[in-house]
Amino acid sequence: MIGADVRGPTHFYVWYTVRGDLQAAVAAIGALLEAVAAQTGVSGRLLARRDDPSTWMEIYENVEEPQAFERALDEQAARHGATSVAEGGRRHTERFAALADALA
């Protein structure tokens, strides 16, 4: 979990391998992105790995309230079945900041 002393915005990168029905995965993650944007005001993007299109990444940038955002993301992922489309139910969340903010 993110510490309370984080400076500057946080950028979230969530990656996973999609298994099963591709159309169901597209629908679930599309619904997730819409719900997260509606709840938090942060619009996410969905990418697929060029050399392995079964690996997807959601990107959420410039998150000003990372703890609240992460709670909302987890809640919406559960609500919209995002874990059910990921291999083994595993979604990997990485959090990044500008170098100056991360080193502060």
At 23-41, the pLDDT tens digits run 999 999 999 999 999 999 9
- What percent of the chain lies above the pLDDT cut of 70? 94
Enter the CATH code of domain 10-103: 3.30.70.100
User: Is the predicted pLDDT of residue 1 greater than 50, yes or no?
Assistant: no
Burial label, 29 (beta-carbon count in 10 A; 0-12, 13-18, 19+)? buried
For the chain, what are the domain ranges?
10-103
